[in-house]
Structure 1
């Protein structure tokens, strides 16, 4: 690529620049970030521990399978302050956009308006996660890398298979979507063998690389148990109540972008003179999984888009309406020339490095860099000044308690979900709604502190405890209150 092409920003580079800077400058706002920060800090200070260090109710055991993201976030906080996790999110999203554009360019070398439209639909499907400082973005990025690797292998590059285990071990320590890597490679290899039987020896080697990619995931704190963890986690009753683990929800707008991609792909694949099983087989598997569990849709959308692009070029029935044909073709040709002659990935990289440099010179503490309307920092500070004890807390805020107050303040539950056996989830719902038996559930935990919100349904428990007495208010901020248990001196 010429120097001019490297400097001239293409469409994907402009999108990456915009999203990278916007997210990099955003305040920290997602609750889950803080149990990752708390876990990463604990790993750096104490190492790995199968016993949950943040609660007494997490008897199912601590599974820090995304510990790498937590440690990386903590190190960035030490270096850049609150901007660290935000800039990490911006960098991951920007890199993902650029890698997707490269993958789509391999599937359809002429990147015109259709390719841009397909990219836009994929980004719409992925966009709900962008405001969340979570390892989900690492999963997106590594999946895009896996797609590029699979494309290179299909094009005849067998050396790329040696990188599959390296990608697998990194992925398994960063995000729970690691299983998609070996599944993609294995399904693609089987499809390639069906497309071109003479390449079966290559396909066998690719399947072996996929198996190796799967096995090396055990090089993680979870060890071999990680092999069954995705299945175990998906079958938990408590998992079924998490929004991203429910079937595709047509009430949210991004789901229609996913269905539009599926409809487009079905049409062009049905019309195509030759169908490539190497892309259709993994697309079918992950595409159906996304209908059952919408968490998979951001990944499945990438494969659906590739299936569309690979089969769209030979379908000559895809033409513009007569009235729009000439201007559309002219615009498409102009856009294709721009895409072919411009890269510009340097610009989002420079922007993020510049923002990181500013933050390195003037790091802002995490407490000043969060979205204050979501986090009752006054209550956390007041709790930290009280003796260590057990905290009855809302589900979403538990990770923030562990980070801001510390692991000596044992939460009742948090959004890690899986350390807590089902009876704890049942007790939480019983206490939340004051259902029959809630007093017994509360007595079993015997909390010293209550960090709760006053908005419905939180007000239900607060009203019950006001009537019963035995609590005093220590602090409040926004919708949250911190209460302290008043115990008799004879206890």
Structure 2
């Protein structure tokens, strides 16, 4: 028993490595900084429907993920620059442990070779998201919590249904994937009713559907109010959304996509060979599984359901395994299962997170010290902050860092929030980047005071054109970025 208390299991080893790796990583994701800017603005000024960071965001500010920004700002005040990195480390490590728990629940506690392979595929699908300090890590963790809640309900725990509305209220203020929660609970309830016909099952299913509706409605208990109900649909239908990489179909150039397809294929094989098919897991897995092929950002969520479908149906053939499984694989399966039963999954990653937190508490670094300067041009941003407030023409990825490091008085042309900006602004952005016809009119309409732009291709197209026209001077050069100041700003004495 003592050995069992300290022996790390498969999930513990994965979580331990991820916790240390991510907890020590410098901050580098562009999107993190518009969340930081938004969180700081909420803490200082409260919520507003008017975009505080630009004059082009006429569609209004929708801070539906404000909770992530506020949480990161609070952690920065405590841990310094390591705060967001430690948050991501804790979320990813916790999710790994809970995913292993969910696989055990789906396989009636039999976590052998198949479970380890399914777990590995899930991690491979999630892997591209790990280096990014973004709120979808909260979405992944809350989705896994929702999965565990549904599993508990399916085994007869009716009290767990009260957990779902609370989860929905929190989830909707942390990440835009909140709609998956009520969809999962509702689809699982319908599937269970089809699996086990009967009056009592129908009553249980109807009650669960009612709580799924309550979970959906609870999402409106936030600053965006009832508008949040239509936001996921509205955002997915935006023309500008279709150009975002993660909203495109599954990219077969990525290893994560092949891991996803391997998991889907294994699940189909297991379902096809099972004597009983369970619609309670197949219904949500099929819907989300197909959606992930169309929109690759759904793949981390769909991979979890596909793995659970695989485990729930593979376990039905467990009794036939000795006659059909080669001896070496059988022994390996028994070894992994024994290892899983004798180990714990929380101790070591928890100790690593506590130790890293202690290190950061003892010597917190400023945010500037904890940023990857090869990615974020802090020198150019510092030079901008020394200029009078004004309008900044910028590529969309750097808009968030401008709003955070320079402040909301420096109005960005666009940033990667995407939805506040009407289609015309996205079109003007493309014209400016690629030098397409109409770029000069777009420049005149925005009338910028500063230009913070990439100097490499294709950024050199605009720089060469403006250099030929004159009226700008270079103030700072930092890596692949340059800061130019419009000469009329200096001559007029104001932006």
TM-score, normalised with respect to structure 2: 0.97
Aligned match of 1:141: 141
Contact 1:121-1:257 within 8 A present in 2 as well: yes
Distance 1:282 1:308 in 2: 13
In structure 2, distance between residues paired with 1:5 and 1:142: 28
Deviation track 1:5-62 (CA, whole Å, cap 9, x = no partner) reads 3322111111101101100000001100000000000000000011000000000000
Match of 2:346?
345
Q: How does 1:381-392 map to 2 (within 5 A)?
A: 381-392=382-393
CA distance in 2, matches of 1:7, 1:441: 63
Structure 1 stretch displaced more, 176-185 or 342-351: 342-351
Q: Unpaired runs of 5+ in structure 1?
A: none
Contact in 1 for aligned 2:97/2:345 (Cα 8 Å): no
Equivalent position SS for 1:487? helix
After TM superposition, the score normalised by the length of structure 1 is 0.97
- The equivalences for 1:6-405 within 5 A come to 6-108=5-107, 109-198=109-198, 199-315=201-317, 325-405=326-406
Equivalent-residue separation in structure 1 for 2:321 and 2:64 (angstroms) = 48
Q: 1:301, 1:344 → 2: CA distance?
A: 21
CA shift at 1:331, angstroms? Answer: 2.0
Q: Indicate the SS of the match to 2:49.
A: coil
Per-residue CA deviation, residues 243-276 of structure 1 (Å, 9 max, x unaligned), is 0000111121110110111111111111111000
Distance 1:162 1:275 in 2: 28
CA contact (8 A) 1:454 1:462 kept: yes
1:316 Cα shift? 6.2
Local SS of the residue matching 2:375: coil
Map Cα deviations across residues 306-334 of structure 1 (whole Å, 9 max, x no partner). Answer: 00100012236986998x82222122212
Contact 1:391 1:450 in 2 (8 A): yes
Unaligned runs of 5+ in 2: none
Q: Is the 8 A contact 1:7 1:344 kept in 2?
A: no
Aligned residues, how many? 489
CA distance in 2, matches of 1:490, 1:412: 22
2:446 is the counterpart of 1:445: yes
Deviation string 1:217-251 (CA, Å, 9 cap, x unpaired) is 00111100100000000000000000000011112
For the residue of structure 2 that corresponds to 1:482, the secondary structure is strand
1:368 Cα offset (Å): 0.9
Secondary structure in 2 aligned to 1:197?
Answer: coil
- 2:451 aligns to what SS in structure 1? strand
RMSD: 1.5
Structure 1 residue 344 displacement after superposition: 3.6
Equivalent residue for 2:478? 477
The answer (yes or no) to whether the contact 1:66–1:173 under 8 Å persists in 2 is yes
